[in-house]
Amino acid sequence: MKKCRRQTAAAVVLVVASLLAGCAAPAPEQAPPAAPPYRPVASIREVMNSVIDPSIDVVWNSVATIIDDGRMTDRAPATDEDWAEVRRHALVVSEAANLLLMPDRPVAPTGATSMAPGIELAPEEIRALIDENRDGWNFYVQQLQDSLTTTLAAIDAKDAPALLDAGEQIDTTCENCHQVFWFPNAVASAR
């Protein structure tokens, strides 16, 4: 008899729990996604001019063949400190590429115009191209990061010829992006 009462009591508890669960308030509506925690300050142009260009110039200029008065001299990082300095600048460029991927970053400061009218598009035209082809933009930016991976490997190996080759890969990647988003009309008119 006790066993039967326990089973009956357990069944009653389950039924009551089920009823209460069914009567519970509906789940709250899904909250809208939170705004991203980052807040872009600089425009794409400013990131390029202030962060990427100066740092990539250090990488590009670290390896060169210089001809002066008919004499050829090769230049490359010579000390661990030299290699570390080039590596720091390569890392800056690689990480700065992430800044370019942020979707709300303006192309240029408010009110800015083309820096090379007739060659470079106006900022609003560049923005339209990026917005129309976000996957293409992301592809080129990620190619930049990939070329920096090769660059960092060359630096870590202290391989000056490989660093020179990696620099050419970076340049090609940048130019390919610029031809699509910054000055596509100049490329079309050159054909």
* CATH number for the domain that contains residue 73: 1.20.120.10
Instruction: State which H helix or E strand residue 137 sits in.
Output: helix 134-156
Nearest to 48 by CA among 134, 130, 107, 120: 107
The Cα 87–Cα 83 span in angstroms is: 6
Structure tokens at 63: 């390896």
Domains: count for the chain: 1
| Residue 13, pLDDT score | 45
Residue 31, in any domain of the structure: no
Residue 27, in any domain of the structure: no
The Cα 32–Cα 96 span in angstroms is: 29
Task: Please state whether the predicted TM-score (pTM) of the whole model is above 0.85.
Answer: no
Residue 83, in any domain of the structure: yes
pLDDT digits (tens, 9 = 90+) for 93-150: 999 999 999 988 999 999 999 999 989 999 999 999 999 999 999 999 999 999 999 9
pLDDT category at 41 given cuts 50, 70, 90 is very high
Nearest to 129 by CA among 177, 86, 89: 177
Structure tokens at 30: 């899904």
Instruction: Count Cα neighbours of 179 within 13 Å in the Cβ-side half-sphere.
Output: 11
* Structural domain boundaries enclosing 73: 44-190
Residue 73, in any domain of the structure: yes
Q: Which residues contact 52 (CB under 8 A, 6 or more apart)?
A: 92, 93, 96, 97
Residue 13, in any domain of the structure: no
| Residue 8, pLDDT score | 52
The pLDDT > 90 percentage for the chain reads 68
